[in-house]
Amino acid sequence: MSKSRLIVLISGNGSNLQAIINQIESGDINANIASVISNKADAYGLQRAKKAGIETAIVDHTQYESRELFDHFLAKVIDQTAPDIIILAGFMRILTEGFVMRYAGKLINIHPSLLPLYRGLHTHKRALHDKATQHGASVHFVTPELDSGAVIVQGVISVKNNDTEETLATRVHQIEHIIYPQAVKLLTENHVKLRANRIYINNQRLQQPKQYGLKK
Ligand code: GRF
């Protein structure tokens, strides 16, 4: 099977990018990252990419007058490599509907909650406030409505009595580093289609997201 071509979009630390790089380097994911694109020149993830010998590009959103112009230019850069999958990994920009539709079924994101719970920001704080017993992260297809696309994989953690936003964030990150590579592997090894916001893997409807847990 030929290697899948990936593009990863980041804005910051890039620990999820690193987790995916590690799985590719270990041979577990049969893919190449064609390029890592950041909207911020100082994103640490760019250094991670360079260290792994991956091409990088910066598309600085502050240089564009509108979201549409930024997305238009971003799409131009992406299309130079004709990727199979575009991975948002801590990419802190809201994308226009035109951009999202252009890459429908190829564009995935990781969100720090068990979607459909806690779309948007401050997910750990909101989970603690609700005294949720479980929390986690979800890898989902990106659709025009924020954090509402079909979920491929979820990582579930138990919330402890003494958890704070920080301790929860740490464990959610740990589970993210497991599930994002798993989701990418699944997409590269199977025929996966998104139709009417439903996921079909090798023509079988995925009834519910695949779930992973932390060992402790
Ligand atoms: C992750 O927590 C992810 O859920 C959110 O952004 C964060 C990115 O972290 N979308 P990193 O840059 O991969 O370390």
The predicted pLDDT at position 215 comes to 64
- Give the closest residue (by CA) to ligand 1 atom 7: 90
pTM beyond 0.75: the answer is: yes
Do the domains spanning 1-103 and 111-138+149-216 agree at the CATH topology level? yes
Which ligand 1 atom is at minimum distance from the Cα of 172? 2
Report the separation in Å between the CA atom of 148 and the middle of ligand 1, taken as the mean of its atom positions. 17
The predicted pLDDT at position 159 comes to 97
- Give the closest residue (by CA) to ligand 1 atom 1: 90
Beta bridge partners of 6: 33, 85
The predicted pLDDT at position 201 comes to 97
The predicted pLDDT at position 216 comes to 56
> What span, in angstroms and rounded, lies between the C-alpha atoms of 64 and 133?
43
111-138+149-216: CATH number = 3.40.50.170
The predicted pLDDT at position 214 comes to 78
1-103: CATH number = 3.40.50.170
Give every residue of the chain whose pLDDT is below 70, as ranges.
Answer: 215-216
**How many CB atoms lie under 10 A from the CB of residue 89?**
24
**Is residue 191 annotated as a catalytic residue, yes or no?**
no
Sign of CA dihedral 89, 75, 183, 194: positive
Q: Which pairing describes strands 107-111 and 85-88: parallel, antiparallel, or unpaired?
A: parallel
Q: Where are the domains of the chain?
A: 1-103, 111-138+149-216
Which ligand 1 atom is at minimum distance from the Cα of 173? 2
Report the separation in Å between the CA atom of 67 and the middle of ligand 1, taken as the mean of its atom positions. 22
Q: Is 39 in the pocket of ligand 1 (CB under 6 A)?
A: no
